[in-house]
């Protein structure tokens, strides 16, 4: 059996259909990660001393695919772990797929058909002569990409943003923790008690919010000191969002910052909390002390979610729904089709990959939340209000977000032209997943008081993220007080 290659020893493969922008993105990513760059098509042309269009015409597709598989095998065998732009058809080859799994991590740049055609059509591309054939091929190849991908990113964004998203190395695949070790230095493994029976650890922490405290942080600092960790070592945090938040902050501060890897084990963690480098503990208020400290990688094993209690799954689903409303496209189609039962393994993995890919992109464009990143707060204005008015712990964060989403969408119909059918569909999805749409019994005044902190920051007005349509958020919309009162009143009605 081949030894498992570590994160640092793996090639990164950028795959996708024609027009996805693989070459530009892989090149930019290679520069960011200071790795060699390989364009597999150019490599094939170099070895054959012929252009791909000519090879296709002279030898036929099958012979070309064999050349492609051989070239992929050569590049994947290299010791200097390049970033490889992989030709659109390579994933059809079973041997190549097996090699990729063993030696690489694969990102799929998912391009929609219209964009693909407008970018790809033209001379020199053997498969773009016929539009109907192009469309068919686009459809046929999707399942292969979905099955081989460890990450999915929307190819519609700029190449710089996509490279920035991929540079965060957010990978989702079963067994992925095996590859966390390696590189120079030691890896100190800190594991949430909820998964400690399945994951090897150097230190086990009780999961949940209580650990996100000054005392929890001090315990971690002392453990890292006792273990004799140095700047060249690494911390691996395996657990829910609470564990990755506090361990991330310990890593950010210990020896003025040591590297860390996040391995989230809840749905909230895999789609949200572990991505983007925000770390925190709660002192006088939730998340009021923290630091931006980006992990070297975020490794999510979908199998670890198998033990997640249904209520924790639903809370995570609320954040997925939020992300789907922001992203639109295939993620929205996936989410709206999900019933309350756990999805199949493949849909669950695709859900996590698409949500994580969307957050990675947003973070790449705005790492410090000076603008765009604020869209991730859709549903969180009223959500935070009810979460804090109920008393932290009374409602799960995701449950509060569910209530806040309904409020934000109601406002969106009044101020952003959102169609009422979206509000109805989202409301039904939430109910179907056992999520609340209101928190009966809370005093509206208490919710409004808790929202005042956000309001203060925005110069005395309530500013909301609203939705014009699925996939089209608008930021910084000023909402008049009477409308805020109205949706808050609705949010606490039975």
Ligand X SMILES: NC(=O)c1ccc[n+]([C@@H]2O[C@H](COP(=O)([O-])OP(=O)(O)OC[C@H]3O[C@@H](n4cnc5c(N)ncnc54)[C@H](O)[C@@H]3O)[C@@H](O)[C@H]2O)c1
* The binder of ligand X chosen from 220, 308, 361, 378 (CB under 6 A): 308
Q: What is the DSSP string of 112-155?
A: -HHHHHHHH-STT-GGGS-HHHHHHHHHHHHHHHHHH-SEEEET
**In angstroms, what CA-CA distances link 323 with 161, 177, 182, 409, 484?**
18, 25, 33, 14, 23
Which part of the chain contacts ligand X (CB under 6 A), choosing from 9-17, 18-26, 57-65, 299-307? 299-307
Q: Is residue 29 within 8 Å of 14, Cβ to Cβ?
A: yes
Phi and psi at residue 228, to the nearest 5°? 70, 30
Which two tokens mark 306? Answer: 């198998």
Active site residue 414: no
Active site residue 287: no
CA 30 – CA 83 distance, rounded (Å): 6
- Contact between 272 and ligand X by CB under 6 A: the answer reads yes
- Beta-bridge partners for 179: none
Active site residue 212: no
* The binder of ligand X chosen from 209, 301, 350, 387 (CB under 6 A): 209
475: closest CA among 401, 398, 402, 376? 376
Q: Is residue 163 within 8 Å of 25, Cβ to Cβ?
A: yes
Angle at which helices 380-389 and 444-457 cross, to 10°: 130
CA 334 – CA 329 distance, rounded (Å): 9
* The binder of ligand X chosen from 128, 161, 265, 360 (CB under 6 A): 265
> Closest approach of Cβ 217 to ligand X, in Å?
13
Active site residue 45: no
Which part of the chain contacts ligand X (CB under 6 A), choosing from 73-81, 131-139, 153-161, 240-248? 240-248
| Burial status of residue 236 (CB atoms within 10 A of its CB: 0-12, 13-18, 19 or more) | buried
* The binder of ligand X chosen from 173, 212, 322, 373 (CB under 6 A): 212
* The binder of ligand X chosen from 155, 268, 298, 382 (CB under 6 A): 268
197: closest CA among 169, 255, 238, 158? 238
- Contact between 318 and ligand X by CB under 6 A: the answer reads no
Choice between 81 and 433, CB closer to ligand X: 433
- Contact between 242 and ligand X by CB under 6 A: the answer reads yes
- Contact between 404 and ligand X by CB under 6 A: the answer reads no
* The binder of ligand X chosen from 233, 312, 350, 399 (CB under 6 A): 312
> Closest approach of Cβ 265 to ligand X, in Å?
4
Lay out the site mask for ligand X across 382-401 (x = CB under 6 A, - = otherwise): ---------------x----
Buried b (16+ CB within 10 A) or exposed e, 246-267: bbbbbbbbbeeebbbbbbbbbb
Active site residue 319: yes
CA 77 – CA 162 distance, rounded (Å): 26
CA 180 – CA 342 distance, rounded (Å): 27
- Contact between 174 and ligand X by CB under 6 A: the answer reads no
Among 377, 396, 433, 462, the one annotated catalytic: 377
* Residue 351: CA count within 13 A, CB half-sphere: 26
- Contact between 239 and ligand X by CB under 6 A: the answer reads yes
- Contact between 87 and ligand X by CB under 6 A: the answer reads no
CA max distance for the chain: 76
Active site residue 384: yes
Active site residue 399: no
Give, in degrees to the nearest 5, the angle at Cα 363 between 230 and 388. Answer: 90
* The binder of ligand X chosen from 16, 241, 404, 436 (CB under 6 A): 241
Active site residue 468: no
Choice between 39 and 192, CB closer to ligand X: 192
Active site residue 453: no
Among 22, 81, 212, 373, the one annotated catalytic: 373
Residue with CB nearest ligand X?
A: 207
Active site residue 359: yes
Q: How many residues touch ligand X (CB under 6 A)?
A: 28
Site residues for ligand X per CB under 6 A:
192, 194-195, 207-209, 212, 239-243, 245, 265-266, 268-269, 272-273, 276, 278, 287, 304-305, 307-308, 312, 397
Q: What amino acid positions are annotated as catalytic residues?
A: 256, 278, 319, 359, 369, 373, 377, 380, 384, 397
């Amino acid at each position: 059996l081949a030894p498992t290659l570590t994160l640092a020893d793996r090639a990164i493969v950028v795959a996708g259909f024609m027009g996805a922008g693989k070459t530009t993105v892989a090149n930019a990513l290679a520069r960011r990660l200071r790795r060699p760059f390989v364009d597999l098509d150019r490599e094939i042309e170099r070895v054959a001393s012929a252009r791909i269009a000519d090879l296709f015409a002279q030898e036929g597709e099958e012979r070309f695919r064999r050349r492609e598989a051989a070239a992929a095998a050569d590049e994947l065998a290299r010791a200097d772990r390049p970033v490889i732009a992989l030709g659109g058809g390579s994933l059809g080859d079973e041997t190549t797929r097996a090699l990729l799994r063993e030696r690489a991590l694969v990102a799929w740049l998912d391009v929609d058909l219209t964009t693909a055609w407008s970018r790809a059509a033209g001379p020199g591309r053997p498969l773009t002569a016929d539009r109907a054939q192009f469309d068919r091929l686009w459809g046929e190849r999707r399942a292969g990409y979905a099955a081989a991908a460890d990450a999915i990113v929307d190819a519609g964004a700029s190449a710089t943003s996509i490279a920035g998203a991929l540079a965060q190395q957010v990978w989702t695949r079963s067994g992925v923790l095996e590859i966390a070790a390696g590189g120079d230095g030691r890896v100190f493994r800190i594991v949430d008690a909820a998964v400690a029976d399945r994951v090897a650890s150097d230190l086990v922490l009780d999961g949940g919010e209580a650990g996100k405290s000054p005392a929890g942080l001090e315990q971690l600092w002392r453990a890292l000191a006792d273990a004799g960790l140095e700047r060249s070592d690494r911390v691996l945090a395996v657990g829910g969002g609470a564990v990755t938040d506090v361990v991330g902050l310990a890593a950010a501060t210990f020896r003025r910052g040591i590297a860390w890897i996040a391995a989230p084990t809840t749905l909230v963690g895999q789609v949200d909390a572990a991505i983007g480098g925000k770390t925190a503990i709660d002192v006088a208020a939730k998340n009021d002390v923290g630091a931006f400290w980006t992990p070297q990688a975020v490794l999510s094993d979908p199998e670890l979610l198998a033990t997640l209690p249904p209520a924790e799954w639903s809370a995570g689903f609320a954040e997925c729904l939020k992300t789907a409303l922001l992203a639109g496209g295939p993620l929205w189609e996936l989410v709206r089709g999900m019933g309350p039962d756990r999805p199949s393994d493949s849909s669950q993995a695709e859900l996590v990959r698409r949500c994580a890919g969307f957050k990675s992109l947003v973070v790449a464009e705005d790492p410090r939340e000076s603008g765009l990143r604020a869209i991730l707060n859709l549903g969180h204005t009223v959500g935070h209000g009810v979460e804090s008015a109920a008393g932290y712990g009374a409602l799960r964060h995701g449950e509060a977000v569910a209530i806040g989403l309904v409020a934000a969408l109601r406002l969106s119909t009044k101020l952003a032209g959102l169609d009422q059918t979206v509000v109805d569909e989202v409301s039904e999805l939430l109910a179907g997943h056992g999520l609340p749409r209101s928190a009966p019994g809370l005093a509206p005044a208490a919710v409004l008081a808790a929202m005042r902190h956000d309001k203060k920051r925005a110069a005395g007005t309530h500013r909301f993220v609203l939705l014009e349509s699925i996939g089209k958020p608008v930021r910084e919309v000023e909402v008049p007080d009477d409308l805020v009162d109205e949706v808050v009143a609705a949010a606490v009605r039975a």
